[in-house]
Structure 1
Amino acid sequence: MLSFLIRRFRGALLAAAIASVISGSCSVFLVSQINVVLAAQTTAPLQGLKFALSAVAAMCAHMFSAMLFQNLRQRAGAELREYISGQVMQAPFRYLERVGSASVQSALSEHTASVTQFFVSVPALLTSGAIVVGCLIYLMVLSPRIFLVTLPFVALGAFGYHLAHLKAINYLRSGTAEQERLFEHFRSLTEGAKELRLNRAKRRFFSDSVLSRSIESVRRQRTVGMSLFVAASSWGNFLIYAFLGLVLFVIAGDIPDRARVLTGFALVMVYMVGPLQALLVSIPNANLVKVAAERIEALVRGMKSTELEVTAVSEGALRSIELQSIRHRYHDPQSNESFHVGPIDLRFAPGEVTFLVGGNGSGKTTLAKVLVGLYPPEAGAILLNDELIDDANRDRYRQQFSAVFSDFHLFDSLLEQRRPELDERGNRLLARLQLLHKVQLREGAFTTRSLSHGQRKRLALVVACLEDRPVLVFDEWAADQDPGFKNIFYREVLAELREEGKSVVVISHDDRYFDVADRIVRLENGLVV
């Protein structure tokens, strides 16, 4: 993920990185000039000019780098969200059902923000790194003998930090995984609001044992992980002062030019503490970026689809859709149970109303999702106008359908080019369904979606009719409608769709309206009986 972003913004990233290194190098040069002035008897005007120019260069380079990296962060965030959204839109529907919306939301929000934070941390990382490296080089120039003594301290600090890193990264990964579960609990706060308010014991248990425990787990895991990094950073700072004390009071007794060397060492070591600490603190932030990128990559990896995206919808009229020995296995990850549908042989024709009936769990909705192309069959074949449907044309096949499933989503507009006749036709349908006093269709968008569930389902029916597809599928559409609207749907809407030559598939339990159907297909345990 980071490689993708770095390749995408290679030029700007390189320019900002060079500016950061220049800023850090200028800072080291300023420290060396201060040491020269402190050790000199008099101050030359040229030294003052060098100092002023270095300070201005450091400021300009830092400003340019920080502004460029902030711009990169926003661009990278936009690119990453577009990339993830594009992958989600082409992902197999079954995969999206399995991973759940919480993982997708977490990737689009928190994980994306963490990854793009990389572009803000880079200036500090590079500037601090340049300062630390430059200070070490200056120390070597001042006294190679003393510099050699620093190497064991550097090695000791690096080893301690490495041990802390290995331990801390596990806590950060666990905290990120728990964060995704927490997002699911947050969604339950609103979607399960009715149930929580109706049951005090359930509300208390959810609050105390589910939500609070998850929040505390995220806090604890991330606190421990980051605290290990802080402890390692403090250990590194202690080693710097320990080394400085060793130089001042033990080693530097007989070195030549003692005053200048000790002044330089003391000045550089004290100055290096801040950048070194910033460098060490940026490492856990970089690890948070790494963990977030891993979560995004794991999510996106399963979204790869072998289907070809449709470029043009077939203009040919629908003659038939045929299911030949279709089989599909549905696995419920929550109950860890599998359900088999098929083998099923069915044929659907224009101007025909088909009812799918059967008890709960008989396979009606699963069959409907196979029919519309959301689930590819695991065995058997689907033929559209005698053409075999496979990965190469399944997306084109899906364009034959409009569907209103029980878990439908209602967008705030029709999501197509504005056409005046759509508004007129849509408002006629809204009036017929007694919704015009609550919502209207204006320039392809609904004036409100703040409606009851039954009213929103009527609105979804309007959308399905306006899409004008050859096949319409309604999954228990009338289940929560008043008798008057049920009658309109079964006696009037379905009759009109039949007259328009549409093939209509209705999943229903309303046996009093079974006479409306041209054919009734009854399912039991995934088989047509």
Structure 2
Amino acid sequence: MLSFLIQQSRGRLLAACVASAAAGVCGVLLVALINSALTADASARGGLAWQFAAVAVGAMLSRMAASVLFEHLRQSANADLRRHIAQRANAAGFRQLEQVGPARVQSALAEHATSVAQFFVSMPTILTNAVIVVGCLVYLALLSWQVFLAAILVIGLGSVGYHLAHLRAIRHLNVAAREQDQLFGHFRAITDGAKELRLNRQKRGAFTEEVLGESIETVRRERALGMSIFVASTSWGHFLIYAFIGLVLFALVGGDAPERTRVMTGFALVFVYMVPPLEGLLVNIPHANLARSASNRIEEVTQGLASAEAEAAAAQVPAAFQQLSLQGVRHSYHHEQRNEVFTLGPIDLRFHPAEVVFLVGGNGSGKTTLAKLITGLYVPEQGRVVLNGQPVDDASRDQYRQIFSAIFSDFHLFDRLLEAASPTLDDQANRLIERLHLQHKVQVKNGAFTTQALSQGQRKRLALVAACLEDRPFLVFDEWAADQDPAFKDVFYKEVLPELRAQGKTVLVISHDDRYFHLADRLVRLESGQVVDDGGARAEAA
């Protein structure tokens, strides 16, 4: 992820790093100038003053530039990451998206992307402080090689301790990151399950305390442990710094008085200036590790969303629909009601333009899964789907899906019409809304619905409006009429479906409304994953 972000903003990142390094160099030069001024005579101080002023202004400008550039990088990184994750999610196969799960995708988009982007805020501090510490060590080496060697020894001991602590802490942060994905699923349940939670106080209490509460506590505990280990290792680093100071003061610096005074003065200035940057370096490094953990989670999610499908060009028009056939199609999945692997198929079916087909069968017979296979949302494990005599493969599947409009039972209604904009789109949509008797509750203005605060049946009518405006040759309705009152069921079965047939559309209707079965051109009956009847020229009433 960091490599991806660097590629997105390489020039700006380089400029920000240079500004941070310049700020660090200016800081070290200020210390050297102060030490020189303390031992310089009056004639030399005038030139040193101008140098000091120039370096101080340079330090201010470089720090300012680094901070501004890295803040822009943080915002750009957050936007780029979210755009990257969203694009991968939209390009992934539907089955892959189901397997990854909405909670992990949302967690990556919100929490993990923010953690990675936040790392860019700490980068100027890390880079500037690192340059200051290295520069101070170089200056110490110029003052006394014994002091420099002692500093290297202390840094070595501190690095070993910090590395051991890092390995332990990162494990806790990874556990917290994994639990964070689960937590986002629980957050969704607060709103998605609002009705059920309010109707059952015991369920609401158990969810709040045992499910949501335990997940929140796990994230808090693991992150606190991980960050506490980093803080403890920082304290270890502080101890080594003070031990180093004592070692230099009382053991390493010797020699004659003038040389000792110069070394001690420089040493005091260097450490007074170096200790805060060193502390800042140790404090900010844990944020880098937190970003690394979040980056790993994002990579796991995006890799899980990798798709072999080729996305069709936006300008490419779907092929005219002539015939669609399923040949020996099979698909297996875990059947929750039976707690076993359920196999759908082999399925052999044909669909032609201008026909209305009803797909019927008991609950759990595989009707919705078959509809997802027909529409290309699921890929057959065996057999093939053939459109207009051409088999559908990974290269053509996205293009194949463009012939369909579908309203599934768990449909999502967007707040606006996302079809190609046209001057007459609002008028067309509002005419359909009026026909479905929703004109007093909702309108379309500038391509957007004025409200979605509607019943489930009314929202389904809006989804029907959107599907009709898409003007695709093949429409799929999964229990569309289940939430409609009898009057609108009549409208749907006796008016909408015949009109769609008259327009040359192929319509597949999943239905349990047996009193309307006689209106279908063909009745396909599915039982236990098998087609037991694919219908005749016209279905008879069940």
Common fold: TM-score over 0.5: yes
Give 3-state SS (helix, strand or coil) of 2:253's partner.
Answer: helix
Equivalent residue, structure 2, for 1:522: 525
**C-alpha displacement at 1:471, in angstroms?**
0.7
Instruction: Give the residue type in structure 1 aligned to 2:369.
Output: T
Matched, 1:281 2:272: no
| Candidates 431, 434, 449, aligned match of 1:431 | 434
**CA 1:150/1:442 → structure 2, altered by over 3 Å: closer, same or farther?**
closer
Give 3-state SS (helix, strand or coil) of 1:44's partner.
Answer: helix
Matched, 1:348 2:331: no
**CA 1:21/1:339 → structure 2, altered by over 3 Å: closer, same or farther?**
same
**In structure 2, what is the Cα distance between the partners aligned to 1:333 and 1:3?**
42
| Kept after mapping to 1: 8 A contact 2:318/2:403 | no
Matched, 1:500 2:503: yes
User: TM-score w.r.t. structure 1 length?
Assistant: 0.97
**CA 1:45/1:355 → structure 2, altered by over 3 Å: closer, same or farther?**
same
**CA 1:464/1:222 → structure 2, altered by over 3 Å: closer, same or farther?**
same
**C-alpha displacement at 1:65, in angstroms?**
1.3
**C-alpha displacement at 1:100, in angstroms?**
1.4
User: TM-score w.r.t. structure 2 length?
Assistant: 0.94
The number of residues matched between the two structures is: 529
Instruction: Give the residue type in structure 2 aligned to 1:151.
Output: I
- Cα-to-partner distance string for 1:404-437 (whole Å, 9 max, x where unaligned): 0011111122212333443333222212221111
Matched, 1:388 2:391: yes
**In structure 2, what is the Cα distance between the partners aligned to 1:107 and 1:211?**
19
**CA 1:56/1:314 → structure 2, altered by over 3 Å: closer, same or farther?**
closer
**In structure 2, what is the Cα distance between the partners aligned to 1:295 and 1:266?**
45
Matches within 5 A, 1:27-426: 27-40=27-40, 42=42, 44-254=45-255, 257-311=259-313, 312-314=315-317, 316-331=319-334, 337-426=340-429
| Kept after mapping to 1: 8 A contact 2:318/2:402 | no
Equivalent residue, structure 2, for 1:15: 15
**In structure 2, what is the Cα distance between the partners aligned to 1:520 and 1:334?**
26
Equivalent residue, structure 2, for 1:4: 4
Gaps of 5+ in 1: none
**C-alpha displacement at 1:41, in angstroms?**
5.5
**C-alpha displacement at 1:226, in angstroms?**
0.6
Give 3-state SS (helix, strand or coil) of 1:329's partner.
Answer: strand
**In structure 2, what is the Cα distance between the partners aligned to 1:166 and 1:392?**
44
**In structure 1, what is the Cα distance between the partners aligned to 2:448 and 2:402?**
22
| Kept after mapping to 1: 8 A contact 2:20/2:63 | yes
Instruction: Give the residue type in structure 2 aligned to 1:479.
Output: A
| Kept after mapping to 2: 8 A contact 1:420/1:443 | no
**C-alpha displacement at 1:284, in angstroms?**
0.9
Instruction: Give the residue type in structure 1 aligned to 2:474.
Output: V
Moved more, 148-157 or 350-359: 148-157
Moved more, 189-198 or 149-158: 149-158
- Cα-to-partner distance string for 1:88-145 (whole Å, 9 max, x where unaligned): 1110100111111111111111111111122222111110000000011111111112
**In structure 1, what is the Cα distance between the partners aligned to 2:492 and 2:337?**
35
**C-alpha displacement at 1:337, in angstroms?**
4.2
**In structure 2, what is the Cα distance between the partners aligned to 1:231 and 1:107?**
29
Matches within 5 A, 1:474-513: 474-513=477-516
**C-alpha displacement at 1:322, in angstroms?**
0.7
Instruction: Give the residue type in structure 1 aligned to 2:204.
Output: R
Give 3-state SS (helix, strand or coil) of 2:347's partner.
Answer: strand
**C-alpha displacement at 1:522, in angstroms?**
1.1
**CA 1:317/1:146 → structure 2, altered by over 3 Å: closer, same or farther?**
closer
| Kept after mapping to 2: 8 A contact 1:240/1:269 | no
**In structure 2, what is the Cα distance between the partners aligned to 1:274 and 1:315?**
64
Give 3-state SS (helix, strand or coil) of 2:101's partner.
Answer: helix
- Cα-to-partner distance string for 1:240-285 (whole Å, 9 max, x where unaligned): 1111112212333446611121121122123211111111112111
**In structure 2, what is the Cα distance between the partners aligned to 1:230 and 1:487?**
69
Instruction: Give the residue type in structure 2 aligned to 1:39.
Output: T
C-alpha RMSD of the superposition: 1.7
**CA 1:317/1:153 → structure 2, altered by over 3 Å: closer, same or farther?**
closer
- Cα-to-partner distance string for 1:1-60 (whole Å, 9 max, x where unaligned): 111111222222112111111110110111122222233464621111111111111111
| Kept after mapping to 1: 8 A contact 2:146/2:252 | no
Instruction: Give the residue type in structure 2 aligned to 1:131.
Output: I
**In structure 1, what is the Cα distance between the partners aligned to 2:462 and 2:386?**
31
Gaps of 5+ in 2: 533-542
Moved more, 315-324 or 345-354: 315-324
**CA 1:150/1:359 → structure 2, altered by over 3 Å: closer, same or farther?**
same
| Kept after mapping to 1: 8 A contact 2:318/2:399 | no
**CA 1:81/1:258 → structure 2, altered by over 3 Å: closer, same or farther?**
same
**In structure 2, what is the Cα distance between the partners aligned to 1:12 and 1:505?**
53
**In structure 1, what is the Cα distance between the partners aligned to 2:270 and 2:331?**
70
**In structure 2, what is the Cα distance between the partners aligned to 1:386 and 1:502?**
19
Matched, 1:468 2:471: yes
**In structure 1, what is the Cα distance between the partners aligned to 2:117 and 2:187?**
24
**CA 1:41/1:384 → structure 2, altered by over 3 Å: closer, same or farther?**
same
Give 3-state SS (helix, strand or coil) of 2:376's partner.
Answer: coil
| Kept after mapping to 2: 8 A contact 1:362/1:523 | yes
Instruction: Give the residue type in structure 2 aligned to 1:277.
Output: E
**In structure 2, what is the Cα distance between the partners aligned to 1:431 and 1:18?**
63
**In structure 2, what is the Cα distance between the partners aligned to 1:228 and 1:468?**
60
Instruction: Give the residue type in structure 1 aligned to 2:171.
Output: N
**In structure 2, what is the Cα distance between the partners aligned to 1:463 and 1:483?**
22
| Kept after mapping to 1: 8 A contact 2:430/2:443 | yes
**C-alpha displacement at 1:147, in angstroms?**
2.1
